[in-house]
Amino acid sequence: MLRLGTREFAAGEPVIMAIVNRTPDSFYDQGATFDDGPALERVERAVAEGAAIIDIGGVKAGPGQEVDAGEEIRRTAGFVAEVRRRYPEVVISVDTWRHEVGEAVCAAGADLLNDAWGGVDPKLAEVAARHGVGLVCTHAGGAAPRTRPHRVVYEDVMADILRTTVGLAERAVRLGVRRDGVLIDPGHDFGKNTRHSLEATRRLGEMTETGWPVLVSLSNKDFVGETLDRPVKDRLIGTLATTAVSAWLGARVYRVHEVAETRQVLDMVASIAGHRPPAVARRGLA
């Protein structure tokens, strides 16, 4: 069972997490949802298309303009409160590595802290425990926030992923975070080159076998672009192929830009696996 906010997700139920970037320099949308109006429209559309989680981020993942904790809070906390007011049932996640931001967004109504930088601020898990919210424990290979990988080497990338994410998850539970609110994430692209991210996808079953629910953040990432030699705006097909593989291997939560397309992929995989009946069944029956 996965329990986030007021929602409970059954074992094996795939969950879509829609990305809403409150940044002027997002790698994908270049600031399209930086202002409140377009951001709220994005939330409305994502919920209508089937997203159960809205993931709000106030800092671009890659290098760029310096954003201190105060500015990150300004970009996220008030928006969290407004989304909470408009959508009381939606799960609100905030993509942050800073405990100060975690405190502010939890007070505003967040249900989940998405720590994409692998516990670089150990106090963030303490915040999650104190507020009774969930936590995403990610592998970033020890990279500092907002840095790109440079000649990263692993003896066994999946062994490192498992050691890091399971260790962070177990620590979170010891601190008081609910076990059914903790997820682990292999951290595609974070502290990894393209071959590392491909191997992490290929061996994702080793993560799902741990029993911790697995979140994958695949959407339009560089490893997809390099694998297919495609620019950011032309990575949807590669993203959806990777999503299908991840679903077959048991991932639970999918952090995405394109909600409707991801929903179709997840439904198709679930039907092939025998977990979901076809929406209609007319062929050969008339």
For the CA atoms of 184, 189, 190, 191, the dihedral, rounded to the nearest 10 degrees, stands at 120
255 as an active site residue: the answer is: yes
* Per-residue pLDDT, 34: 87
- Active site (annotated) includes residue 233: no
DSSP code string of 208-260: HTTSS-BEEE-TT-HHHHHHHT--GGG-HHHHHHHHHHHHHTT--EEEES-HH
pLDDT per residue over 37-63, tens digit each?
999 999 999 999 999 999 999 999 999
Catalytic-labelled residue, pool 255, 263, 276, 283: 255
Among residues 85, 87, 131, the alpha carbon closest in space to that of 112 is found at 131
How much is the pLDDT for 26?
82
pLDDT at 47: 98
Quick: pLDDT tens for 244-278: 999 999 999 999 999 999 999 999 999 999 999 99
The domain locations on the chain are 2-273
Confidence of residue 1 (pLDDT cuts 50, 70, 90): confident
Q: Is the pLDDT at 129 greater than 90, yes or no?
A: yes
What would the pLDDT profile of 182-240 be if each residue is shown by its tens digit? Answer: 999 999 999 999 999 999 999 999 999 999 999 999 999 999 999 999 999 999 999 99
The one-character DSSP state at 138 is E
d(CA 18, CA 55): 6
Structure-block tokens of residue 195? 């071959």
Query: Would you state the torsion angle of the CA atoms of residues 197, 61, 265, 226, taken in this order, to the nearest 10 degrees?
Result: -50
Q: What is the pTM of this model?
A: 0.96
CATH 3.20.20.20 fits 2-273, yes or no: yes
Please write the tens of the pLDDT for every residue from 72-82.
Answer: 999 999 999 99
* The predicted structure's pLDDT at residue 198: 98
Catalytic residue among 22, 75, 221, 252: 221
Work out the mean pLDDT of the chain and round it to a whole number.
Answer: 96
| Phi-psi region at 50: left, alpha or beta (left = phi > 0; alpha = psi -120 to 50) | left
How many whole angstroms separate alpha carbon 280 and alpha carbon 32?
A: 37
pLDDT at 30: 74
- How far apart (Å, rounded) are the C-alpha atoms in residues 235 and 194? 14
Query: In this structure, are residues 246 and 201 in contact, taking their beta carbons and an 8 Å threshold?
Result: yes
Instruction: For residue range 152-185, list pLDDT tens digits in order.
Output: 999 999 999 999 999 999 999 999 999 999 999 9
